[in-house]
Chain A
Amino acid sequence: MVSTTTVPKATVATAISVRDLSLGVQGGDLILKDVDFDLTPGRILALVGESGSGKTTAALACMNHLRTGLELRGGSVQLHEGASRFFNQNMDLLTLSEKQVRKLRGGTIAYVPQDPALSLNGALRVGEQIHEVLCIHEFGRNGREREARVAEVLEEVGLPSTKKYQRRYPHQLSGGQQQRIGIAMAFACRPAVIILDEPTTGLDVATQDLVLKTVYQLTTKHDVAGLYITHDLAVVAQVANDVAVMLRGEIVERGPAEKVLYDPDHDYTKTLLAAVPDLQGERAMGGGPAVSPSAKVRAPWDNSHDDDVPVANSGQVADSARGANDGRDNARGVGQHDAAQSAHGASSGATAVAAEPARSDEASRGGERAASSTGDTAQVHDRAASPTETKPANEPLVAVRDLRLAYGPAVILDGINLDLVEGQTTMLLGESGSGKTTLSRSIAGLNAAYTGEVLLEGNVLANGTRKRSNEDRRRIQYIFQSPFSSLNPRRSIGDSLEVPLEMSGGMSRKQRRAAVADALDAVRLGRSYINRRPGELSGGERQRAAVARALVNAPSVLVCDEITSALDVSVQASVIELLRDLQRERGLAMLFVTHNIALARHVSHKLAVLEKGRLVDYGPTDHVLRNPQHGYTKSLLKHVPTL
Chain B
Amino acid sequence: MILKRLGISVFVLLAVSVVVFVFTLLLPGDPAQAILGQQATPERLAALREQLNLNDPWYERYFTWLGGLLVGDLGTSAATGGSVNELLGQKVSASVLLMIIAAVISIPVGILLGTWSAMRRGRTTDHTLTGISLVLAALPEFVIGIALTTLLSTTVFQLLPSVTMAAPGTRVWDYPLQLVLPTLTLVLVVVPYMIRMTRTTMLDVLDSGYVEMARLKGVPERQVIMKHALPHAIGPVAQVVAMQLAWLAGGIVVVEFLFRYPGLGQAMVDAVQIRDVQVVQALSMIIAAFYVVVNLIADVIGILANPKLRTESSK
A interface residues, Cβ below 8 angstroms from B = 60, 63, 65, 68, 102-107, 110-111, 113, 115, 118-124, 132-133, 136-137, 169, 171-172, 185
Given A124-B228, A169-B307, A169-B308; A132-B217 close (CB under 8 Å): yes
CB distance from A56 to the nearest CB of B (A): 11
Segment at the interface with A among B20-28, B179-187, B207-215:
B207-215
Residue interface bits B207-233, CB-to-A below 8 A is 1, else 0: 111101111111110010001100110
Q: Does B305 lie within 8 Å of A121, measured CB to CB?
A: no
A-B contact pairs, 19 of them (CB 8 A): A63-B216, A65-B212, A65-B216, A102-B218, A105-B215, A107-B218, A111-B216, A113-B213, A121-B210, A121-B213, A123-B231, A124-B227, A124-B228, A132-B217, A132-B219, A136-B217, A136-B220, A169-B307, A171-B311
Closest to B121 in A: A68
Q: Which of B212, B216, B219, B305 contacts A123 (CB 8 A)?
A: B305
How far, in angstroms, from A172 to B310 measured CA to CA in the complex? Answer: 12
Residues in chain A near residue B220, CB distance under 8 A: 102, 136
B131-183 with Cβ < 8 A to chain A: none
Chain B residue, CB-CB nearest to A67: B212
Within 8 A of A (CB), among B188-212: 207-210, 212
How many A-B pairs have beta carbons closer than 8 Å: the answer is: 76
A121 touches B214 (CB 8 A): yes
> Which one of B208, B209, B213, B311 has the highest number of Cβ atoms from chain A below 10 Å of its Cβ?
B213
Contact partners of B227 in chain A: CB under 8 A: 124, 132
Say which residue of A68, A120, A172, A185 sits within 8 Å of B311 (CB atoms).
A172
Chain A residues positioned under 8 Å from B219 (CB to CB): 102, 106, 132, 136
CB distance from A183 to the nearest CB of B (A): 13
Q: Which residues of B contact A120 (CB under 8 A)?
A: 210, 213
> Given the complex of chains A and B, what is the CA–CA distance between A169 and B232 in angstroms?
14
Set of chain B residues within 8 Å of A102, measured between Cβ atoms: 218-220
Q: Min CB distance, A69 to chain B, in Å?
A: 10
Contact across chains for A121 and B228 when beta carbons are under 8 A apart: yes
Residues of B at the A interface (CB closer than 8 Å) are: 207-210, 212-220, 223, 227-228, 231-232, 305-308, 311
- Which of B208, B218, B219, B311 is packed against the most chain A CB atoms within 10 Å? B218
For A104, list chain B residues within 8 Å (CB): 218
Q: Which residue of B lies closest to A105 (CB)?
A: B218
Contact B217 A118 (CB under 8 A): no
Q: Which of B209, B232, B307 contacts A115 (CB 8 A)?
A: B209
Nearest CB to that of A188 among chain B residues?
B217
**B213 and A171 form a contact (CB under 8 A):** no
Chain B: CB-nearest residue to A169: B307
Q: A123–B208 Cα gap in the complex (Å)?
A: 13
Q: Assuming A113-B209, A115-B209, is B218 touching A122 (CB within 8 A)? A: no
Q: In the complex, what's the smallest C-beta–C-beta distance from A87 to chain B, in angstroms? A: 14
**A120-B210, A123-B307, A124-B228 known; A137 vs B218 contact (CB < 8 Å):** yes
A110: B residues at CB distance < 8 A: 217
Q: Given A169-B307, A171-B307: A119 and B218 within 8 A (CB)?
A: no
Question: Do A122 and B209 form a contact, CB below 8 Å, given A106-B216, A133-B218, A169-B307?
Answer: no
Nearest 10 pairs of A and B residues by beta carbon: A118-B209, A106-B217, A105-B218, A106-B218, A119-B209, A123-B231, A121-B210, A119-B213, A169-B307, A111-B216
A119 touches B212 (CB 8 A): yes
B19 to chain A, nearest CB (A): 35
CA distance A106 to B212 in the complex (A): 12
Q: Are B217 and A122 in contact (CB under 8 A)?
A: no
Q: Which residues does chain A contribute within 8 Å of B306, judged by CB atoms?
A: 122-123
Contacts of A111 in B (CB 8 A): 213, 216-217
Using Cβ atoms and an 8 Å threshold, which residues of chain B touch A106? 216-219
In the complex, A388 Cα to B210 Cα: how many Å? 52
Complex CA–CA separation, A106 to B209 (angstroms):
15
List the A side residues contacting B228 at CB < 8 Å: 121, 123-124
How far apart are the CA atoms of A103 and B223 in the complex, in Å? 14
B57 vs chain A, min Cβ distance (A): 44
Contacts of A185 in B (CB 8 A): 217
Q: Whole-angstrom distance between the alpha carbons of A110 and B307 in the complex?
A: 27
Closest to B231 in A: A123
Please determine whether A118 and B216 come into contact, CB atoms closer than 8 angstroms: no
CB-defined contacts of B213 to chain A, threshold 8 Å: 111, 113, 119-121
* Given A169-B307, A171-B308: A122 in contact with B210 (beta carbons within 8 A): yes
Determine whether the beta carbon of B217 is less than 8 Å from that of A105.
yes
CA distance A65 to B216 in the complex (A): 8
How far apart sit A172 and B217, CA to CA, in the bound complex (Å)?
22
* Complex contact B214–A122 (CB within 8 A): no
Contact B307 A133 (CB under 8 A): no
Cα distance, A113 to B210, chains bound together (Å): 9
For the complex, give the distance between the alpha carbons of A60 and B214 in Å: 14
List residues of chain A with CB within 8 A of the CB of B311.
Answer: 169, 171-172
Cross-chain contact B218 with A103 (CB below 8 angstroms): yes
Contact B216 A122, beta carbon cutoff 8 Å: no
Q: Considering the chains assembled together, what is the distance between the CA atoms of A60 and B212 in angstroms?
A: 11
**How far is A561 from B296 in the complex, measured between Cα atoms in Å?**
42
Minimum Cβ distance to chain A for residue B155 (Å): 47
Residues of chain A with a CB closer than 8 A to B208's CB:
118
Chain A residues with Cβ under 8 A from B209's Cβ?
113, 115, 118-119
Note all chain B residues with C-beta closer than 8 A to A123: 228, 231-232, 305-307
Report the bound CA distance from A138 to B246 in whole Å. Answer: 47
In the complex, which residues of chain B have a beta carbon less than 8 angstroms from the beta carbon of A119? 209-210, 212-213
How long is the Cα–Cα vector from A122 to B228 in the complex, in angstroms?
A: 9
